[in-house]
Structure formats: C-alpha cells, structure tokens
C-alpha cells in the first residue's frame, strides 16, 4: 500500500481515479475508432444511405456487440470489387462477341460471310460436300442439310490456304486424301551415332 500512496496525488483514491480515467479514455477511443471504421467500411460496401446510418448507429449504441452484428450482416464485397467483376463480365462478353466475328487464328475482325481471312489467309468457311452451302470449318455438321463434315487435315507448311468462288457454292483447294495406294511421304530421319 505504501507503493500506491507514492503515486501522483499521494493517495489510493487519486490513483484509482487516474486509472479509471485512463481506462475510460481507452474505451472511448476504442468505441470512437470502431464507429469511424464502420462508417468508412459501410461506405465502401453500399451506396444505400439507410444501411449506412443503421450500421453506424448499431456500433455507436451497442459498441462491441453492435460491431459483431455489423460484421455478420455487412455486404461481403465492396463496391470496387463489384465494379471490377462487372468490368470482367463485360470484357468476357465483348470477347465472346468478337470471337464470333473474328478470325480464329489472328483474332482480327472479319465479316460473317468471309471465306478466307484477308489478314492471315486462314480458311474460315468451306462448301458443304452435300448441299454446297458455306459452312464454318469449325463445325462438325452442316446445319443446312445435316450431313457430317469430313475432318480437315492440316495443309502442308508453306502452302497458304486458298478459296475460290464458283456460282452459289465455292470450293477449297484441298490436297488429295491419303489412301493405302498413295502412302504419305515422310521426311528421311537421320540418326547420329
């Protein structure tokens, strides 16, 4: 007890009063900082004024229990996150729209009726072998006559794909299919010893 009496004020009562004021100041600072934090946080999460006022009043009136309730009911994402997500979704939709009207090789914009990409000479459409209408090279079936489209083999390197228009239908210069009578030529492989 003599140790406590030597504190400022010289008495136990004055020391307890000072300690009480420090604890009260600490609690007040925590309460005020919680209110300010909730005010800032709720403004980043919603534009609804009523929600902002309710959140701040909840913490201002009920302190720590109000803060816990706010943390449970607050919106999970911020307005900035929602905006970024909407931009991402818009960019994906834009990319999907462009991919429908762009070359699958060089991604440059093309018209719907192009047969060959004017930029990279990629064959975009070919004549259906059954009905002669233009179909995309990525389609497996002709949507006009429902016949299966033969799978195209890759063209030889160095030979750009070319297409010609003949009347209503057009055909593509395609190398002859490989058969057992006409075996494919393979480059000679040399082995070093």
pLDDT in tens, the chain (193 residues): 455 445 555 688 888 999 999 999 999 999 999 999 999 999 999 999 999 999 999 999 999 999 999 999 999 999 999 999 999 999 988 877 766 677 878 878 888 788 888 989 888 888 888 888 888 887 888 888 988 877 655 554 444 444 433 333 444 444 444 444 444 555 555 555 4
Among residues 150, 162, 82, which one has the least CA distance to residue 118?
162
Q: How far is the C-alpha of 45 from the C-alpha of 77, rounded, in Å?
A: 6
Classify burial at 127, counting beta carbons within 10 Å of its beta carbon; exposed 0-12, middle 13-18, buried 19 or more.
Answer: buried
Helices (H) and strands (E) in the chain, counts: 4, 4
Residue 91 falls inside a structural domain:
no
Residues 105 and 164 in one domain: yes
Q: How far is CA 133 from CA 111, 124, 128, 152, 181, in A?
A: 17, 13, 5, 17, 31
Same structural domain, 6 and 69: yes
In a domain, 185, yes or no: no
- Nearest CA to 39 out of 58, 64, 24, 25 is that of 58
Burial tier of 80 (Cβ tally within 10 Å: 0-12, 13-18, 19+): exposed
Host domain of residue 47: 2-78
Pair (73, 107) in one structural domain: no
Q: How far is CA 156 from CA 82, 117, 141, 174, in A?
A: 49, 18, 24, 10
How large is the angle between the packed helices 12-45 and 49-73, nearest 10 degrees?
110
Q: Is 180 a domain residue?
A: no
Rounded to the nearest 10°, the torsion over CA 161, 164, 168, 169 is -40
Same domain, 63 and 129: no
* CB contact at 8 A, 79 and 48: no
Ramachandran class of 128: left when φ > 0, alpha when ψ lies in -120 to 50, beta otherwise: beta
* Secondary structure element (H or E) that encloses residue 172, with its range: strand 169-172
With a CB cutoff of 8 Å and minimum separation 6, the contacts of 115 are 123, 124, 125, 126, 134, 163, 165, 170
Q: 69 and 112: one domain?
A: no
Count of domains observed in the chain: 2
What does the pLDDT look like over 125-153, one tens digit per residue? 888 888 888 888 878 888 889 888 776 55
> Is residue 85 domain-resident?
no
Residues 67, 7: one domain? yes
């Amino acid at each position: 007890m003599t140790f406590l009496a030597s504190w400022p004020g010289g008495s136990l009562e004055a020391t307890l009063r000072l300690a009480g004021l420090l604890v009260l100041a600490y609690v007040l600072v925590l309460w005020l900082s919680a209110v300010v934090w909730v005010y800032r946080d709720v403004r980043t999460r919603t534009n609804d004024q009523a929600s902002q006022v309710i959140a701040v009043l909840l913490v201002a009136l009920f302190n720590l229990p109000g803060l816990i309730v706010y943390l449970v009911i607050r919106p999970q994402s911020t307005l900035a996150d929602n905006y970024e997500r909407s931009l991402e979704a818009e960019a994906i939709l834009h990319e999907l729209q462009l991919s429908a009207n762009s070359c699958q090789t060089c991604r440059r914009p093309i018209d719907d009726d192009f047969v060959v990409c004017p930029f990279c000479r990629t064959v975009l459409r070919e004549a259906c072998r059954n009905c002669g209408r233009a179909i995309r090279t990525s389609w497996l079936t002709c949507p006009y006559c429902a016949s299966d489209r033969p799978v195209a083999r890759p063209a030889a390197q160095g030979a750009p794909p070319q297409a010609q228009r003949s009347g209503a239908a057009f055909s593509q210069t395609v190398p002859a299919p490989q058969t057992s009578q006409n075996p494919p030529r393979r480059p000679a492989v040399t082995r070093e010893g």
